[in-house]
């Protein structure tokens, strides 16, 4: 089986032998989300994360005076312009 993985500004082609078990995991379609709602959806997700307290609550609990936010490099298409402002 051949796969093309996003790598840098291009793709990295890899071949996995047919005798290896593979699965492809894709994200579920989001129901009810409209393309223009991205900022609101991200802000809501940051306020009410799944499986962990909100960042604000963690900071208050630990009485932290500062925090570090780590972001990945430019080769990943992460929409920081949407994610970072609500923080």
For residue 6, the cross-strand partners are: 11
Kindly report the pTM of this predicted structure. Answer: 0.47
Kindly indicate the confidence band of residue 76, based on its pLDDT and cuts at 50, 70 and 90. Answer: confident
51/83 Cα distance (integer angstroms): 19
Q: If DSSP states are collapsed to H, E and C, what string results for 8-49?
A: CCEEEEEECCCCCCCCCCCCCCCCCCCHHHHHHHHHHHHHCC
pLDDT at 27: 66
pLDDT tens per residue, range 18-57: 888 777 776 666 666 565 678 888 888 888 888 889 888 9
Q: Is the pLDDT score of 61 beyond 80?
A: yes
State the Rg of the chain over Cα: 18
pLDDT at 12: 93
- Sorted by where each begins, the domain ranges of the chain are 35-71
């Amino acid at each position: 089986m051949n796969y093309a993985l996003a790598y840098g500004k291009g793709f990295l082609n890899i071949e996995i032998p047919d005798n290896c078990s593979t699965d492809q995991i894709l994200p579920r379609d989001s129901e009810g989300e409209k393309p223009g709602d991205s900022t609101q959806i991200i802000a809501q997700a940051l306020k009410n994360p799944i499986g962990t307290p909100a960042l604000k609550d963690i900071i208050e609990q630990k009485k932290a005076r500062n925090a570090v936010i780590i972001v990945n490099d430019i080769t990943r298409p992460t929409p920081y312009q949407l994610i970072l402002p609500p923080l």
